Amino acid sequence: MNYILEVRKFDETDANRECPTVCEDDEFRMRLNALIEDIESISNVSSVTLEGQSISISTVMDKNDLKTSVKPLFSNHFCYLRFVSLKEKP
């Protein structure tokens, strides 16, 4: 199965006491690349590629299992990235 993981940069509406400022574009790109590396380490994921600000993922897992595996990875990048959606690739 092929999926598109949509992410977005942490913005002003996300700011809170733990993350009071918005990250710079360079930091966002660095965190996005780190997230890709984290996803590549998930068992049963065969490929991960960046497509703009979306991440293309090939895996034998179903959507719910992949989402369950991916969502906790965002805690490592809490002040930089936000999960938007996970969709099956057409």
Helix and strand numbers (H, E) in the chain are 2, 4
Give pTM, 2 decimals: 0.89
* Predicted pLDDT at 16: 87
> Where residue 18 sits, what CATH number does that domain have?
3.30.70.100
C-alpha distances in Å from residue 34, one per residue of 1, 6, 27, 28, 64: 23, 15, 10, 10, 22
Tens digits of per-residue pLDDT, 32-48? 999 999 999 999 999 99
The domain tally of the chain equals 1
Instruction: Decide: helix, strand or coil at residue 50.
Output: strand
Tens digits of per-residue pLDDT, 46-86? 999 999 889 999 999 999 999 999 999 998 888 899 999 99
| Domain region containing 82 | 2-88
